[in-house]
Structure 1
Amino acid sequence: MIIRHATENDLPAIVAIYNASIPSRMATADLEPVSVMSRINWFKKRSPLKHPLWVVETGEVIAGWLSFQPFYGRPAYHATAEVSIYIASNYQRRGLGKILLQEAIRQSPNLGLKTLIGFIFGHNEASLKLFEQFGFERWGHMPGIAELDGVERDLVILGLRLG
């Protein structure tokens, strides 16, 4: 298993993993699949030196990915990033999310980051548990903010101050 910076050639696999998460209504507020074309600008905004996009490979297969997203788009938040993790369904519960999150925490100071944020649905207990296992605390709760198939869902904001 290796973690490496994503290339544009990885984008179809990244999008496929993301799209596979949509039907479960556990990890994203997107309700319909996204296209590779619609994600090209998102991909191009990733920077290995500040807001990287990593893939985790097992053998020759991209099994998951982690993205650092700029937070709120204002200069004063330059040392804060949102972290998103997506693991292919057939690779879940193998510890890949833990490995990616641990590496994100370890590398964050090298990226100039002091704070990591996670936005996780309140019903996504596995992801909440993962982030909390690494010291993320619940910094916010937005009740009923998302509507997924007619069901209102909460959003939990988790944060971790580094070093």
Structure 2
Amino acid sequence: MNENKLNIIIDEMLPANWPSVVDIYIQGFSTRNATFQTETPTWEEWNKNHFEELRFVAIINETITGWAALSPVSSRSVYSGVMEVSVYVHEDYRGKGIGNSLLERLITESEAKNIWTLQSGIFPENIGSIALHEKFGFRKIGYREKVGKMDGVWRDTVLMERRSKIAGQH
């Protein structure tokens, strides 16, 4: 499998990784099918919106090739185990198993931290992301019609969810 040939290393994301992480993020939002984000956030903006303990980068030959992180869906304590997933892969490395490696690590580590539900809102046109999530047990639970405008056009998202069979059971 490509994952073994490429020797993908999944490591914790550090602030020093931000230049590579934001470059990959920009590639994602430039497609207009990855996120509603259209402007480059600062490290401070991005940092305050993502759960600090669950951020990872994929590294191949000392090059950051992708990243994954979780964002809380609410500040209310009842939702402390519910997080939104972000997974982005550098355009030159897509289709090589990096998203698989990142999402697998994110799931494993999130369950260890008692995160019981992972969710994603994905544009229906982003069939690669939908397939990746389905591969890891996410299921389509809804369709959000005209949830936001991008470039003056209403966009829909598919809401996907993965419930842990380990975390949040007690």
TM-score normalised to the size of structure 2?
A: 0.85
1:13 Cα shift? 1.0
In 2: Cα distance, 1:95 partner to 1:8 partner: 24
1:148 Cα shift? 2.3
Query: Which of 155, 162, 170 is residue 160 of structure 1 equivalent to?
Result: 162
Secondary structure, aligned partner of 2:142: strand
Residue in 2 that maps onto 1:132: 134
Size of the aligned set, in residue pairs, is 158
In 2: Cα distance, 1:54 partner to 1:100 partner: 7
Cα distance change on mapping 1:139 and 1:12 into 2, 3 Å:
same
The 5 A counterparts of 1:10-159 are: 10-36=17-43, 38-42=45-49, 46-48=51-53, 52-159=54-161
Structure 1 gaps, min length 5:
none
Secondary structure, aligned partner of 1:132: helix
In 1: Cα distance, 2:76 partner to 2:142 partner: 20
8 Å contact from structure 1 (residues 139, 158) kept in 2: yes
Secondary structure, aligned partner of 1:22: helix
In 2: Cα distance, 1:114 partner to 1:35 partner: 29
8 Å contact from structure 2 (residues 72, 84) kept in 1: yes
Secondary structure, aligned partner of 1:118: strand
8 Å contact from structure 1 (residues 68, 83) kept in 2: yes
In 2: Cα distance, 1:155 partner to 1:119 partner: 6
Identity %: 30
TM-score normalised to the size of structure 1?
A: 0.89
8 Å contact from structure 2 (residues 12, 55) kept in 1: yes
8 Å contact from structure 1 (residues 123, 154) kept in 2: no
1:27 Cα shift? 0.5
8 Å contact from structure 2 (residues 89, 98) kept in 1: yes
8 Å contact from structure 2 (residues 56, 106) kept in 1: no
Residue in 1 that maps onto 2:14: 7
List 4+ stretches of structure 1 deviating above 6 A: none
In 2: Cα distance, 1:40 partner to 1:104 partner: 17
In 1: Cα distance, 2:111 partner to 2:39 partner: 35
8 Å contact from structure 2 (residues 74, 80) kept in 1: no
8 Å contact from structure 1 (residues 87, 96) kept in 2: yes
Compute the RMSD of aligned alpha carbons.
Answer: 1.6
In 1: Cα distance, 2:164 partner to 2:121 partner: 17
